[in-house]
């Protein structure tokens, strides 16, 4: 069946994330707009205790603001040696509105001397409109001793996915999207929408 969404609003103003989402959503063949395309200045406070809560809050906010089906995601890096931190606080691990590098520096400082470097990226994607659908993607891996690579964004330079010798920042965009947490979650959603799925919460 044909995807019923002609336009989807991307509930983010992060240019890096927008570029990645647009590439992942290309198979839907619909028009994509984002926070960068509107004059609304409101920012959604990510104050929910879970990734799902934050993703739904952002998606619902922008759906009500724009009238367009709104897609939002929230991603957390869960490090075993840090008891799952930074988790839901990944984007603001070292404080509000800090750079990617500042967050990475704090993570590496916290990981200094730790032998267990197992970690995973977890993404929850929510699409809010007349229906609400939710999907989750997980990518297992480990934290490297130092940053490697110039691609990607966020913690990509220090996250080596399971089965690979390179970090996310060293992989091509297409290779990263194929195995990443966000890529897995979005693929589930794209497949679901292209199949004309009904409204429900799926994992």
Residue range 40-52: mean pLDDT, rounded = 84
117: its two tokens: 């470097």
Q: Does residue 202 fall inside a structural domain?
A: no
Predicted TM-score (pTM) of the model is: 0.86
Q: Does residue 16 fall inside a structural domain?
A: yes
Q: How far is CA 90 from CA 14, 56, 64, 172, in A?
A: 15, 17, 27, 23
**Residue 171: CATH number of its domain:** 3.90.950.10
Q: Sorting pLDDT into bands at 50, 70 and 90, what band is 30?
A: confident
Q: Which is catalytic among the residues 74, 150, 156, 174?
A: 74
150 is catalytic: no
Q: Does residue 118 fall inside a structural domain?
A: yes
pLDDT in tens, 157-171: 999 999 999 999 999
Task: Tell me the pLDDT of the chain averaged across its residues.
Answer: 90
Residue range 46-67: mean pLDDT, rounded = 94
Q: How far is CA 92 from CA 131, 187, 193, in A?
A: 30, 27, 32
Question: Domain containing 75: what range?
Answer: 7-194
Q: Does residue 133 fall inside a structural domain?
A: yes
Instruction: Tell me the C-alpha distance between 64 and 77, whole Å.
Output: 29
Is the confidence at residue 203, as pLDDT, over 50? no
Q: Does residue 200 fall inside a structural domain?
A: no
Q: Does residue 189 fall inside a structural domain?
A: yes
The better pLDDT of the pair 70, 30 is held by: 70
Residues 6 or more apart from 46 whose CB is under 8 A from it? 54, 57, 58, 74, 88, 91
Q: Rounded to the nearest 5°, which phi and psi values hold at 167?
A: -80, 170
- DSSP at 135: E
Of 43, 114, 119, the residue nearest 87 (C-alpha): 119
Q: How far is CA 143 from CA 82, 103, 150, 153, in A?
A: 11, 13, 16, 15
Count of structural domains, the chain: 1
Q: Does residue 199 fall inside a structural domain?
A: no
Environment class of residue 113 by beta-carbon count within 10 Å: exposed (0-12), middle (13-18) or buried (19+)? exposed
Residue range 62-85: mean pLDDT, rounded = 95
Q: Does residue 22 fall inside a structural domain?
A: yes
């Amino acid at each position: 069946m044909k995807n019923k969404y002609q336009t989807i609003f991307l509930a983010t103003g992060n240019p890096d994330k927008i570029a990645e989402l647009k590439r992942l959503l290309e198979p839907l063949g619909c028009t994509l707009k984002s926070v960068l395309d509107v004059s609304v200045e409101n920012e959604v406070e990510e104050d929910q205790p879970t990734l799902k809560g934050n993703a739904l809050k952002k998606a619902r906010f922008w759906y009500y603001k724009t009238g367009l089906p709104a897609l939002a995601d929230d991603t957390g890096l869960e490090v075993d040696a840090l008891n799952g931190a930074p988790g839901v606080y990944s984007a603001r691990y070292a404080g509000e509105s800090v750079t990617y590098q500042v967050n990475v520096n704090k993570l590496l400082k916290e990981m200094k001397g730790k032998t267990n470097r197992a970690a995973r990226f977890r993404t929850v994607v929510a699409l809010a409109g007349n229906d609400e659908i939710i999907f989750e993607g997980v990518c297992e891996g480990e934290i490297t001793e130092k940053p490697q690579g110039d691609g990607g964004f966020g913690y990509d330079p220090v996250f080596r996915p399971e089965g690979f010798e390179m970090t996310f920042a060293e992989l091509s965009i297409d290779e990263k999207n194929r195995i990443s947490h966000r890529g897995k979650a979005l693929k589930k959603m794209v497949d679901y929408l292209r199949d004309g799925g009904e409204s429900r919460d799926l994992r």
